[in-house]
Amino acid sequence: MIDPGTADARRRLEEALGVRRWVDEVAAGGPYPTVEALAAAVDVAGARLTDEELDEAVSRPPATGAAGPGGLPAGEGLDRTDEGVDAAIARGDEVYRQRFGRAFLLRTGGLSRQEVLDELQRRLKNDPADEAAEVKQQLRALAVQRVTATFGGER
């Protein structure tokens, strides 16, 4: 059983997404019999992120596994550093910040640096509402990934 209502579990949920309503909803639904059941609850609660909650989530420093302010994290499934691609990502992030008012966020696991750049360039063409929806989807996927990793050893 996984009890997300404990102080330690709530802290780990906050680290996974950092949206108060989301943490409260996931915690209130427990205990969960498996990490898979917890991940499903995380996914459902994440599907209802509002624009205000998006702002709440992205106001925190970027977590491992997400491209964020200052570019890309080291490792996290990305291929080796490529100065030209990394510079293009940094420039694209600045354009993205000016256009959307926040750093570019993307679940990077399994992507090459070139794929991150391609996704950044694609998303720069979004209108603000479509991009907010994409960021919410990215946050939702990151939350599921983080919760699965952090609670994965508990049964």
What domains lie within the chain, and their CATH numbers? Answer: 7-151 (1.10.3330.10)
Q: Encode pLDDT of 10-47 as tens digits.
A: 999 999 998 999 999 999 999 999 999 999 999 999 99
Q: How confident is the model at residue 78 (pLDDT cuts 50, 70, 90)?
A: low
Q: Give the pLDDT mean for 66-91.
A: 65
**Amino acid at the residue 7:** A
Q: Give the pLDDT mean for 50-69.
A: 69
Q: Give the pLDDT mean for 115-126.
A: 96
Q: Is the pLDDT of residue 144 over 70?
A: yes
pLDDT score at 128: 96
Helix (H) or strand (E) holding 29: none
pLDDT score at 50: 95
pLDDT score at 149: 92
Q: Is the pLDDT of residue 73 over 50?
A: no
Contacts by 128-135, CB closer than 8 A, 24 or more apart: 128/100, 131/100, 132/51, 132/54, 135/54, 135/58, 135/102, 135/105
